[in-house]
Amino acid sequence: MADQKFRTRITDLFGIEHPIVCGGMMWLGDAEYTSAVARAGGIGFITPRSFPTPEDFREQLRKAHDLSDGKPFGVNLYISARSEANQMLQIFLDIAIEERVRFVETAGFSPKEFMPKIKDAGMTVMHKCTTLRHARSAQNAGVDAVAILGAEAGGHPGMDMIGTMVQGAVVPQELDVPVVLAGGMGTGRQLVACLALGAHGMLVATRMVVAAEIWAHENYKKRLSELGPSDTKIIMSIFGDNSRVIGNHSSEAVLSLEAEGNKDYEAYRPYVQGNLQRKAYVDGDWTRGTMSVGQSVAFAGEIEPVGTIIDGIMDEATVVRERLNRF
């Protein structure tokens, strides 16, 4: 990595060229995409539940090894608060260990129950969470890094809805482990801002959905490329599970149910079920399904290869750093 432009504790921890972490993306985080991120100098995470069977997941890991030019990639484990719902995760973790994956991104709930297995296998784990309290407890549980999410994030930004700017100014100062800042990210200017705030890297997800290597239908990506920061909705607050998604028929329907005070989950199911999201990616009909989209969709203006997106971020960060040096 002779021409490494930004070396941080995160590039050292993951053994990557750039301090760019690409968060796991349900249905979309496959070998093709994750290895493109690896080749471009960042790190991405394969989402095991995106594949029909554990053996299909294993195939993806093998394919990612083949396509990554020996560069690192990881596995995303989205942990449920209900322990019984996490049985599959143990199987996914075993497969990841058998297939010599060295990096894990955990999210959703405390990684504590998985830490012994992760550490026995010598893996490095980054836990993604939304409050300083959760970040501290992940650090105490032994994680190697924390990704802290701000309210702008696609997916689950948490219930406190703390802005990324505040998270960045608070959390890195309070932790000993390196911190990656997330939520609303997509530019080189923001990467420099993350580092200025004291974070050691930047995490992107929504920005990458329009990448050429993402298998989603062209019409879905085209729609995202037209959207701005006002085009997302926060749904499911009524269940204490904020979710930032694309503004469309389904998210409006969910918001109407919430406005009525309806707390019967079955009423929501036709709009929020996961296979509807997958269907939107398959057929490009973005009007149905509650697909995760963050405010950073504003930066997803063009369908282009992962390498072009990451190079663009790094080139801009380099220019911005030079500009700041002149002040």
Ligand X SMILES: Cc1cc2nc3c(=O)[nH]c(=O)nc-3n(C[C@H](O)[C@H](O)[C@H](O)COP(=O)(O)O)c2cc1C
**In the complex, least distance from residue 28 CB atom to ligand X, rounded to whole angstroms:** 6
167 three-class SS: helix
Q: How far apart are CA 249 and CA 222, in angstroms?
A: 18
Where does this chain bind ligand X (CB under 6 A)?
Answer: 23-26, 28, 47, 76, 78, 107, 128, 149, 152-155, 182-185, 203-207, 209, 292-294, 296
Comparing CB distances to ligand X, the nearer of 41 and 155 is 155
Of residues 76 and 251, the one with the C-beta less far from ligand X: 76
**Do the beta carbons of residue 220 and residue 36 sit within 8 Å?**
no
Least Å distance, CB 218 to ligand X, is: 16
Q: How far is the CB of 266 from ligand X (least distance, A)?
A: 23
Least distance to ligand X from the beta carbon of 185, Å? Answer: 5
Instruction: Give the residue nearest to ligand X (CB).
Output: 23
Cα separation, 158 vs 134, in Å, equals 11
With a CB cutoff of 8 Å and minimum separation 6, the contacts of 135 are 127, 129, 146, 148, 171, 174, 175, 179
Question: Which is nearer to ligand X, 251 or 292 (by Cβ)?
Answer: 292
Q: Which residues contact 151 (CB under 8 A, 6 or more apart)?
A: 157, 158, 161, 162, 163, 164, 183
Q: Which positions ≥6 away from 119 have C-beta within 8 Å?
A: 142
Q: Residue 122 CB, nearest distance to ligand X (Å)?
A: 22
